[in-house]
Amino acid sequence: MMYDLFANETTGEHEQIGPAAWVLRGYALAYAPELLNAIQILEQISPFRHMTTPGGFTMSVALTNCGRFGWSSDESGYRYSQTDPLSGKAWPVMPDIFMKLASEAAAVAGFPRFQPDACLVNRYLPGSRLSLHQDKDERDFSAPIVSVSLGMPAVFLFGGLKRTDKARRIPLLHGDVVVWGGPDRLRYHGILPLKDKPHPLLGSVRLNFTFREAG
Ligand code: MD3
Ligand code: FE
């Protein structure tokens, strides 16, 4: 492994957490500066915003998107669209480096030829959480999803195919990548309320990028 200032004792480990689900520890560390630089540009075009759920709640996580498709939510439901509802304009283009990271990580986990057309970026502050849900707004569930975590640590809940199945708690640290597909694609999952453990590079923020084949 290349030396990295932000590496930790788990960097380089590959943990299999399901038949087709893997945590690649520290896999995105070398990409972090470019990801963060891209976010600064992205958020000037499509700022982070707190969306409303169909149930009328405001999400504690703020989100934005890049790529041909972006995910959004309002009182009438969840959807992918080719334009940002805030501006009416196309979502920002997905940087080539995002595509490279996501497709390489997918290949390591056994999914060659992953070509994401959507990148949803979640921003967590202390106390932000994501309750247990399935990702099922994408058109084709045969493609995996790749997630990249940066900044503060989080505990993610890795459940089963039913909401009531017991969920495992898995810590996600700066630079970790999770890939899940096949029989794990529709598992319930979530993020516990974030503790304030400031990260030396990002401060009291966690960013999560999820790459999807949405359209
Ligand atoms: C999915 N994001 O944006 S990604 C989401 O950290 C989302 O922001 C979370 O869920 C976040 O839809 C979690 C990591 C993850 C881990 C395990 C999973 C997603 C998973 C297992 C099954 C399905
Ligand atoms: Fe999800």
Question: What single DSSP character describes residue 68?
Answer: S
Structure confidence at residue 77 as a pLDDT band (50, 70, 90):
very high
The three-class DSSP label of residue 95 is coil
Across the range 63-79, mean pLDDT stands at 97
Q: Where are the beta strands (DSSP E) in 13-138?
A: 14-18, 21-24, 62-66, 70-74, 77-81, 118-124, 130-133
- The mean pLDDT value of the chain amounts to 97
How far is C-alpha 199 from the geometric centre of its chain's CA atoms? 18
- For helices 96-108 and 32-45, give the axis angle rounded to 10 degrees: 130
The per-residue pLDDT for 178 is 98
pTM to 2 decimal places = 0.97
The per-residue pLDDT for 49 is 98
The residues, any chain, with a CB within 8 Å of residue 40's CB and separated by 6 or more, are none
Percent of all residues in the chain with a pLDDT value above 90, rounded to a whole number = 99
d(CA 187, CA 146): 14
Domains and CATH numbers, the chain: 20-212 (2.60.120.590)
Residue of 123, 147, 211 best suited for mutating to test ligand 1, as the one with most atoms within 8 Å of CB:
147
The per-residue pLDDT for 82 is 98
Q: Half-sphere exposure of 169 toward its Cβ, with a 13 Å CA cutoff?
A: 5
Q: Report pLDDT digits (tens) over 131-162.
A: 999 999 999 999 999 999 999 999 999 999 99
Q: What's the CA-to-centroid distance between 120 and ligand 1, angstroms?
A: 11
Q: Describe the strand order of the beta sheet including 154-158 as a list of residue ranges.
A: 130-133, 189-191, 154-158, 168-172
Which residue type occupies 61? V
CB-defined site of ligand 1, < 6 Å: 120, 122, 130, 135, 147, 156, 158, 178, 180, 184, 187, 189, 191, 208, 210
Across the range 160-167, mean pLDDT stands at 98
Residue 199 pLDDT greater than 70, yes or no:
yes
